[in-house]
Every structure is written in C-alpha cells, then in structure tokens.
C-alpha cells in the first residue's frame, strides 16, 4: 500500500461540501470534526473577531488518488485565494479497520522530500491554545488551527503519550517550513514550559503536500 492521510480545513459549514466533492472522485467516506482558526487580518483584529469556526475533514486514501482529489477540492473551493481553506497530507505507516488493513510502504521523489513541511501538534489545557499560537507567531508562524479535545467519557480519562486527555484539553495544529520548525517548537516549549510534567506535549509529523498556503 501507498497510503496518506489528507486533512482539509475550511470554514464552518463547508465540510459536507468537501466530502461531496471527495465522494464524487471515488472516496468512500471521511471524518469531519470542528476546530477554530486563528487568522490575523487588520479588519478582523479591529472587529475583535480574529478567531473563526472551522471544519476539519480527514480522508485516508492511496497517495496518488488522494492528491488528485485534493487538487479538485482546492480548485472548486478556490484555495488559491487567501482564507478560502487549506489542505495537507501526512504519511500513513499502518492502517487497521478498513479493507486496506496492513502496513503502508510509501516512497517520495527527491523534489517531494525537498518541499516537505512539518506539522507541529501541541496538546495543552483548555484556554491555553491561544498562548501556544502567540508563542509560535513570535518565532515566525502565521497561525494555526485549534481543536477541542475530549476523553472517552465525562468521568473518564484517556492517555496520549502517558498524558491524560480530558474534556479540558486543546490541540493546536501548526504547519511550518522545515527550517522554521526548531524555532517555533523552542518558542512554544519556553512559553508553555512544556518540559515540566503535566504542562503539555508536542509532537511533529512530516507534511508531504500542501494546498492553499501562502
């Protein structure tokens, strides 16, 4: 198998349209969940509405097919225009629970490797995500997407890298150029005191393709 996971981040209400386009291209299904963008434009800042509700669509597919689907999504939703949406892909190592169960062996060209970016994922207590974004911006990031995380039940806790994930957690997704990743991560670690137990976690994944980034 040659699998990737695609993420499409669009304005609230457009997730179903993304799935409609994807299904038209032969995708069987996907997952839609809610998030919050952290756009920064002078007008939005003046009106104090610098945050916008977002929908994140997650689609798993064979690499080449996924890229062609995202090409169509980006074209139909005008991702070439600022703030119309972004999409990115990450490699999948193993997949279970579908007809494609098994290990994914994926290869990339020298040009693809050269153009790869990083996805910086930070998990912190609810209410602290904006501090993460501010710290990232101080190191050159342009913003990110905030997702409210929750455990498996109101009285239960689930574990992620030995850290409790409860309803009071937030996940911040930031895409960065590879040469900027270390500075952004260092700024977040310093601002949020990530290295102290219980203050949060950061993990980084390769981003193999992007759409709608400026």
Alpha-carbon distance of 46 to 198, in angstroms, equals: 35
Average pLDDT in the chain: 84
Asked if residue 52 has pLDDT above 70, the reply is yes
Each residue's pLDDT tens digit, 112-156: 778 889 999 999 988 899 999 999 999 999 889 999 875 444 444
Per-residue tokens: 49: 């509405």
Each residue's pLDDT tens digit, 170-192: 899 999 999 999 999 999 999 99
| Integer CA distances (angstroms), 94 to 1, 66, 97, 103, in order | 9, 17, 10, 4
Place of tokens 């574990």: 159
pLDDT for the residue numbered 43: 45
Contacts of 109 (CB under 8 A, 6+ apart): none
Nearest-Å Rg of the Cα atoms of the chain is 17
């Amino acid at each position: 198998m040659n699998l990737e996971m695609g993420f499409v981040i669009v304005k609230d209400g457009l997730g179903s349209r993304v799935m409609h386009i994807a299904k038209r291209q032969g995708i069987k299904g996907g997952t839609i969940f809610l998030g919050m963008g952290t756009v920064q434009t002078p007008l939005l800042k003046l009106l104090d509405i610098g945050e916008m509700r977002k929908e994140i669509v997650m689609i798993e597919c064979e690499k080449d097919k996924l890229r062609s689907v995202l090409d169509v999504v980006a074209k139909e939703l005008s991702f070439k225009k600022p703030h119309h949406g972004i999409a990115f892909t990450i490699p999948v190592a193993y997949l279970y629970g579908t007809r494609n169960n098994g290990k994914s062996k994926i290869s990339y060209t020298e040009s693809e490797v050269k153009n790869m970016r990083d996805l910086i994922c930070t998990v912190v207590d609810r209410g602290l995500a904006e501090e993460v974004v501010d710290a990232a911006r101080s190191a050159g990031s342009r913003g990110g997407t905030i997702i409210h995380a929750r455990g498996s039940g109101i009285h239960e806790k689930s574990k992620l890298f030995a850290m409790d994930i409860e309803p009071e957690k937030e996940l911040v997704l930031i895409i960065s150029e590879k040469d900027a990743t270390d500075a952004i991560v260092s700024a977040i670690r310093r601002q949020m005191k990530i290295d102290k137990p219980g203050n949060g976690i950061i993990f980084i994944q390769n981003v193999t393709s992007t759409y709608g980034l400026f």
